[in-house]
Amino acid sequence: MAFMEKPPAGKVLLDDTVPLTAAIEASQSLQSHTIVRRYSDFDLLNNSLQISGLSLPLPPKKLIGNMDREFIAARQKGLQNYLNAITTNHILSNCELVKKFLDPNNYSANYTEIALQHVSMFFRSEPKWEVVEPLKDIGWRIRKKYFLMKIKNQPKERLVLSWADLGPDKYLSDKDFQCLIKLLPSCLHPYIYRVTFATASESSALLIRMFNEKGTLKDLIYKAKPKDPFLKKYCNPKKIQGLELQQIKTYGRQILEVLKFLHDKGFPYGHLHASNVMLEGDTCRLLDLENSLLGLPSFYRSYFSQFRKINTLESVDVHCFGHLLYEMTYGRPPDSVPVDCFPPAPSMAVVAVLESTLSCEACKNGMPTVSRLLQMPLFSDVLLTTSEKPQFKIPSKLKEALRIAKECIEKRLVEEQKQIHQHRRLTRAQSHHGSEEERKKRKILARKKSKRSAIENNEEQSMKYNNSNNSGSGASSPLTSPSSPTPPSTAAALGLGKRCKGRPICITSTTATATSASTTSSSLASSEHRGACTALAPGCERCEPRGPAQFHPEFPERDSEESRNV
């Protein structure tokens, strides 16, 4: 597709930060949309992930006896543990290799080739630029690619070209989007990394910046080389060491100042992390302002989407600043968020800021503002010396477009948080009801209910028989003992032989002179009938007492005579 070509109308813009989970199932139980992978596929994925330096728990191969039932069950469990280790690692779960392995339908395209097509089309109209080499996988985004560039008349100067596809949060119109992208080179701020050139089509954006040999703030923390792949640089650092306290204070103050500047301008950001902060000496400069215009999801979206109080882009920036501060302090990201207990820090003032952004209470009640963080002791005494005056003029029409787009981004975030909250409630309920303790409780309650129901039914039947005995019309048929079984011929004479054939039935004929003892026997007989004939044929009524004149109402005398014969 050409660089300026309009994207297809039915194109789906995916959120690549949506976390994937995987469960190993037997082939017989595959009912929903799923994927089938052989062990060789897992082995190939594991070899591709070795660049991360992590020791992943892939179960070993077995040549003899690999079809035994016990071995298959053990391997299934081992592969599930392997997938859990991958999907719970924030960097691995977002990499292209894992996405293609778990979701090949949505991640089957070759994004490097797509980027090259767009970049080559761009160079046709801008012949002064030249590609030196592709910077393969230096970033974490699947749909964002980087190339090392140079200007033909300045061959020694190196630049970086970044190409990015649209994301699911792109709500600007094509015209406003292109105008705002072209405004980025005019943004001047001492703590924003300057854009040399920017252009956009209806489906992507392309920006050029100066290449920095020292790399980003994350490269400084992890002692990494900027050109190395993202997995190699940050998955398993050789040495974990945080920055010095003065560096933490200075860098933190500079980042908060630029966040406040963007918030005051009404420019949405939401993409703060250590790889988006470029270092030039002792100065931090923010990168990738275009991400929010493109609608790309944040690196930490899977974290803050869990907390319903983090529902604005301003609060997202503050929460992401907490992640960045933790990484600067301890030399690694937090194991989980919220953080219950913070390790010892160079100063208690650092812990105070971390608690206000990453603790359980902060995530539950909401984030402080950037202005509030600037007033905290960690940053309030930091003096910044800069002669560059901030400048970023946005026309009022585009400001309104940014405001509407920001509201749409926040609305999608709130809807996603609501769905996650409902899913967690449902999962907790299912887990609670599926526990062994709950099963035992339900069994005990079911037994008690069954016994209570049986007692109530017996009492009800006893009352019915008692009422029937007391309201008899004085029929003169002899009393049949309820404890003695009715002969088959009698059942046939009463018209019930075909209805309950093969089932023992106890029938009791009552008269007006029946005593209370016979009523009790009738109740017992009815109970015996109920236990013996639980699934009667249509028309067989087992619980209603019948006198001789009730079976054939058209021939009362004949029925009475037959009863006397019996």
Is residue 168, in this structure, part of any structural domain at all? yes
**pLDDT grade, residue 16 (50/70/90)?**
low
Is residue 335, in this structure, part of any structural domain at all? yes
Is residue 432, in this structure, part of any structural domain at all? no
Residue 269 reports pLDDT greater than 80:
yes
Q: Are residues 241 and 94 in the same domain?
A: no
Is residue 484, in this structure, part of any structural domain at all? no
Residue 401 reports pLDDT greater than 70:
yes
Q: Are residues 145 and 45 in the same domain?
A: no
Q: Which of 86, 107, 128 is the last residue of a domain?
A: 107
CA dist 417 → 43, 312, 329 (Å): 35, 12, 29
**What is the tens place of the pLDDT at every residue in 120-155?**
888 888 888 888 999 999 999 999 999 999 998 888
Instruction: Write down the pLDDT at residue 121.
Output: 86
Greater pLDDT, 477 or 133: 133
Is residue 187, in this structure, part of any structural domain at all? yes
566 touches 555 (CB < 8 A): no
Residue 8 reports pLDDT greater than 50:
yes
Greater pLDDT, 350 or 487: 350
Q: Averaged over 37-64, what is the pLDDT?
A: 90
Q: Are residues 406 and 257 in the same domain?
A: yes
**pLDDT grade, residue 482 (50/70/90)?**
very low
Q: Which of 76, 107, 138 is the last residue of a domain?
A: 107
Q: Averaged over 198-216, what is the pLDDT?
A: 92
Burial of 287 (0-12, 13-18, 19+ CB in 10 A): buried
Q: Which of 3-7, 79-83, 112-116, 196-200 has the lowest mean pLDDT?
A: 3-7
Residue 249 reports pLDDT greater than 90:
yes
Greater pLDDT, 25 or 456: 456
Greater pLDDT, 62 or 490: 62
Q: Are residues 116 and 90 in the same domain?
A: no
**What is the tens place of the pLDDT at every residue in 80-104?**
999 999 999 999 999 999 999 998 8
Is residue 1, in this structure, part of any structural domain at all? no
Q: Are residues 150 and 86 in the same domain?
A: no
Q: Are residues 269 and 330 in the same domain?
A: yes
Q: Are residues 198 and 338 in the same domain?
A: yes
The partner residues of 278 in beta bridges, in order of sequence, read 216, 285
169 touches 163 (CB < 8 A): no
Phi, psi of 87 (to 5 degrees): -75, -20
Residue 74 reports pLDDT greater than 60:
yes
Instruction: Write down the pLDDT at residue 281.
Output: 87
Q: Which of 392, 423, 454 is the last residue of a domain?
A: 423
The partner residues of 161 in beta bridges, in order of sequence, read 147, 208
Instruction: Write down the pLDDT at residue 7.
Output: 54
Task: Give CA–CA dist 225/162, Å, rounded.
Answer: 18
Q: Averaged over 165-182, what is the pLDDT?
A: 94
Residue 526: both structure tokens together: 């009815």
Instruction: Write down the pLDDT at residue 435.
Output: 67
Q: Angle, nearest 10°, between helix axes 516-532 and 436-470?
A: 140
Q: Which of 185-189, 287-291, 346-350, 387-391 has the lowest mean pLDDT?
A: 387-391
Instruction: Write down the pLDDT at residue 253.
Output: 96
Structurally, how many domains does the chain consist of?
2
Q: Averaged over 392-400, what is the pLDDT?
A: 94
**pLDDT grade, residue 345 (50/70/90)?**
very high
Q: Are residues 126 and 70 in the same domain?
A: no
C-alpha closest to that of 507 among 494, 520, 463, 538: 494
Can you give the CATH number for the domain in which 27 is found? Answer: 3.30.1520.10
Greater pLDDT, 48 or 469: 48
C-alpha closest to that of 82 among 117, 103, 58: 58
> Residue 354 belongs to what domain range?
111-423
Q: Averaged over 458-462, what is the pLDDT?
A: 81
Greater pLDDT, 111 or 485: 111
Q: Averaged over 348-363, what is the pLDDT?
A: 95
Q: Are residues 80 and 162 in the same domain?
A: no
Instruction: Write down the pLDDT at residue 139.
Output: 93
Is residue 261, in this structure, part of any structural domain at all? yes
Q: Are residues 258 and 338 in the same domain?
A: yes
Percent of the chain's residues with pLDDT above 70: 76
The DSSP element (H or E) to which 398 belongs, if any, is helix 396-433
Can you give the CATH number for the domain in which 293 is found? Answer: 1.10.510.10
Q: Are residues 130 and 186 in the same domain?
A: yes
Percent of the chain's residues with pLDDT above 90: 53
Number of helices (H) and strands (E), helices first, in the chain?
A: 21, 7
Instruction: Write down the pLDDT at residue 555.
Output: 44
Give the DSSP letter of residue 431.
Answer: H
Residue 27 CA from chain centroid, whole number: 24
Burial of 87 (0-12, 13-18, 19+ CB in 10 A): middle
**What is the tens place of the pLDDT at every residue in 114-123?**
898 888 888 8
Is residue 82, in this structure, part of any structural domain at all? yes
Task: Give CA–CA dist 81/467, Å, rounded.
Answer: 68
Q: Are residues 148 and 292 in the same domain?
A: yes
The partner residues of 207 in beta bridges, in order of sequence, read 162, 198
Q: What is the pTM of this model?
A: 0.72
Q: What is the mean pLDDT of the chain?
A: 80
